[in-house]
Amino acid sequence: MKTKRLFFASTLFLLACGKQPFEVEGEAVTYTEMAAGDLYGNGEEEIPAQATAIYSAEVWTNLLEKMNAVNAVDDSFIVTDIDFDTEMIFVLFDEIKGTDGHQIRVSKMIEFEDQIILTVAKNEPTEDVLSTVITQPFYIIKAAKTEKAIIFN
């Protein structure tokens, strides 16, 4: 009976604090969307599904060359300027899809003491907008450069 009272009192205390045990709060990171869209090369770009951070102009240029191998995708980029001394890029590529309407994006980016966590969201198309076309959704953002560990969820 004493154990039940202690458990009940502990639960009430945690609820009164408004936080779950061991919850750690982070701070939202400001980022700029550079591009969102699809590759239409039927996999000829040879870009695997991935979520990664890019820290250098060389790696960025190599990726752009692959993305543009079939179609000039970078013509539709919202933002193209990047200063790799102070900024870095985060890229998401989904798997190759057999229909259009798929999307991939970062829904939030939170900074903690030793890491930054990017939450990845995927949207599936509704039945009424499906058309048969080979696509590979991508999403690209930039943010302030960091040495912290980058984690994609």
- Average pLDDT taken over every residue of the chain: 87
Q: Give 23's pLDDT tier (boundaries 50, 70, 90).
A: low
Domain assignment present for 10: no
Domain assignment present for 130: yes
Domain assignment present for 7: no
Domain assignment present for 4: no
pLDDT at 20: 43
* Domain residue limits at 133: 25-152
- Mean pLDDT across 40-54: 96
Domain assignment present for 48: yes
Domain assignment present for 12: no
What would the 3-class secondary structure string for the chain be? CHHHHHHHHHHHHHHHHCCCCCCCCCEECCCEEEEEEEECCCCCCCCCCEEEEECCHHHHHHHHHHHCCCCCHHHHCCCCCCCCCCEEEEEEECCCEEECCCEEEEEEEEECCCEEEEEEEEECCCHHHCCEEEEEEEEEEEEECCCCEEEEC
Instruction: Examine the pLDDT at 83 and tell me if it is beyond 70.
Output: yes
Domain assignment present for 17: no
Sign, CA torsion 135/90/62/48 = negative
Domain assignment present for 84: yes
Instruction: Examine the pLDDT at 133 and tell me if it is beyond 90.
Output: no
Report the number of distinct structural domains present in the chain. Answer: 1
Condensed to tens digits (0 to 9), the pLDDT of residues 107-127 reads: 999 999 999 999 999 998 877
